[in-house]
Structure 1
Amino acid sequence: MSLSTLSFAYVSDLVRRETAMLYPPEKAYLVESRLEPLARAAGARSLEAYVAQLRHDPNEQARVADALTINETSWYRDNTPFRALATDIVPALLRERSGRHLSVWSAACSSGQEPYSIAMTLEERLPQDWTTEIWATDVSPTMVERVAAGRYGQVEMNRGLPATSLVKYFTRTGSEWEVLPQLRAMVRPSVVNLIDDLPAMPRFDVVFLRNVLIYFDLAVRHEVLDRVRDVMAPDGYLVLGSSETAMDLGDRWVRETCGRLQLHRPAPYVRTPAAAPTLTATGS
């Protein structure tokens, strides 16, 4: 099954309106592969017939927007951000926070490997008398349901999860592995669309917004980063993907180097020398 140019333009525009994600014509093969199961389930004889049906069915439009979100993820993906969280960010926050509580946001979290990787990191690094809440949000209701369930197949478990973490934080449930209740209690799954006004949220000490901005145009990146900054603590930490930066998006951020990782902080921000000596400011 394949899409005509007009039908592809309709679908890509639908997804852009709903999620701000951009699907250029060279991604037509991906759109078609995601739509085919939906077309079969709807009883459509072709993708063209399915798109014709789609134009008049809001429920089906929502399914398409859900199906075309990008759900690439793995445990401790790229590793460097989690190492920085454990060895630099958490120690700095332990010194700076008197309330003995940390709020973390894993935005566009997909099926939950990122927020649960954060939870495992904090479980091992925070003192016992500290508490934490990890908001795990995604635009896809299907992905958020998976976060809440906390269950993963063997192939997913093999993608980046150390054997020691598997034994320590998961139990076998039939053919799947289930996150232990102590970790699930730390994670708060919720459907959040980054291009809409954000719901009531805490002031976050750390925000993971990784591999998300690359799918938006420049104007949407500005809007998303402004919304994120507004829910961050004044001295909080923003972690972006390795190919992403906030430095060309205005003067609301300063950048700090943490090993091989570039961290972003809300501006104006001036770190006191004693806060985290391994981090050095590199620009604004």
Structure 2
Amino acid sequence: MTPTEFDFLKNYLKSRSGLMLSNEKQYLVESRLLPVARKAGLSTLSELIGKVQRGGDKTLEKDVVEAMTTNESFFFRDKTPFDNFTNVMLPALMKARADRRRLRIWCAAASTGQEPYSLAMLLKEAASKLAGWRVEIIGTDLSTEVLEKARVGVYSQFEVQRGLPIQMLLKYFTQNGDLWQVNSEIRSMVQWRMMNLLDSFLSMGEFDIIFCRNVLIYFDQPTKSDILNRLAKQMSSDGYLVLGAAETVVGLSTAFQPVQGLRGLYHRGGAAPAAGAKSGSASAVGATAFGKPRMFAS
């Protein structure tokens, strides 16, 4: 791959996905795109790049972008965000939404689904407290391939051993040889949609909680700022944003405030209320845009 071809790919991937590649990543590009070239019946990366430059092959263009996105995920990854979900976000929002009993949660860049399913299991564990509530979890990703894996909910022994407590594995999964499938009851709690974070979010409606972890690190500063400000417009006035431990809103957006003492957790607007404090209820704009929310039995 020539320097000119690599420069084209860097610019192409940034415009299509926001992904920023340094010059040191050329080896990564080659290792990930060679299989794409072979799949398309092309013998070299130069042929692949030339075909992308000429345009007209939407499948190939999609395959190139998806091959370069990172799809690392595992159940209850980093643990702390899920503790904060159970101990901080959920109690506060249940108090604030007591009148309408509805919550909407968006997991952006959800990859193969472990994050949304982790949240679904936590909600199932809290089902007695959520009796009569409608809770909607939307998982989105740029890659249609990983979304299909997420939708089916089948994971290897290695994947379920990464972060998933054994009691939840036995309770919420069915084993088939060396594979484990998320039970239908948990799968039904999550809806899936292809979404590029560079595109408009307006069709998504309004959310109470947005998980957008470990994806902003791949974007440049203007793109990070743009995404954060557009996420803020899709959130209730007292909603929560969850970022990765290495990510921050500082210097990028004034729409969120850090929750003191809880790294990676941000509150929409002013200082976060204490868990259980009363705050204004949000509208349910777009609450049925993706189908029927999960209704917890009374």
Provide closer, same or farther for how the CA distance between residues 272 and 237 of structure 1 changes in structure 2, counting only shifts above 3 A.
closer
Which AA in structure 2 matches 1:6? T
**In structure 2, C-alpha distance between the alignment counterparts of 1:138 and 1:209, rounded to whole Å:** 11
Contact 1:210 1:240 in 2 (8 A): yes
Q: Once the two structures are superposed, what CA deviation does each residue of 1:52-103 show, in whole Å capped at 9, x if it has no partner?
A: 2332333311110111111011111111000111112111122111222211
Aligned-residue identity in percent: 38
Pairing partner for 2:169 from 161, 166, 170: 166
5+ long unaligned stretches in structure 1: 278-284
Query: How large is the RMSD of aligned CA atoms in angstroms?
Result: 1.8
Map 1:65-214 onto structure 2 (within 5 A). Answer: 65-98=65-98, 99-126=100-127, 127=129, 128-214=131-217
Higher relative contact order (CA 8 A, sep 6+): 2
Q: CA deviation at 1:40?
A: 1.4
- Deviation per residue, 1:153-199 (Å, 9 max, x gap): 22211211111111011112354211111111110100011111114
Does the residue aligned with 1:257 lie in a helix, a strand or coil?
coil
**Amino acid paired to 1:134:** I
Alignment of 1:236-251 (within 5 A): 236-251=239-254
Q: In 2, Cα distance between the equivalents of 1:124 and 1:40?
A: 46
Q: Secondary structure at the match of 1:161?
A: coil
TM-score normalised per structure 1:
0.90
Secondary structure (helix, strand or coil) at the match of 2:204 reads: coil
The aligned residue for residue 58 of structure 1 is: 58
Instruction: Quote the residue 2:38 is aligned against.
Output: 40
| Structure 1 residue 242: Cα displacement | 0.3
More strand as a share of residues: 1
Aligned counterpart, 1:263: 265
The answer as to whether partners of 1:136 and 1:189 remain within 8 angstroms in 2 is yes
CA distance in 2, matches of 1:109, 1:262: 17
Query: In terms of mean alpha carbon deviation, does 10-19 or 73-82 score higher?
Result: 10-19
Can you give the 5+ residue segments of structure 2 that lack an aligned partner in the other structure? Answer: 279-298
The answer as to whether partners of 1:140 and 1:191 remain within 8 angstroms in 2 is: yes
CA 1:272 to 1:154, structure 2 compared with 1: closer, same or farther past 3 Å? Answer: closer
Residue identity matched to 1:109:
A
Alpha-carbon distance in 2 for matches of 1:217, 1:143: 24
Q: Distance in 2 between matches of 1:274 and 1:241?
A: 21
Please name the residue that 2:11 is paired with.
13
Q: Say which is worse superposed, 71-80 or 149-158, in terms of deviation.
A: 149-158
> So what's the TM-score if we normalise by structure 2?
0.86
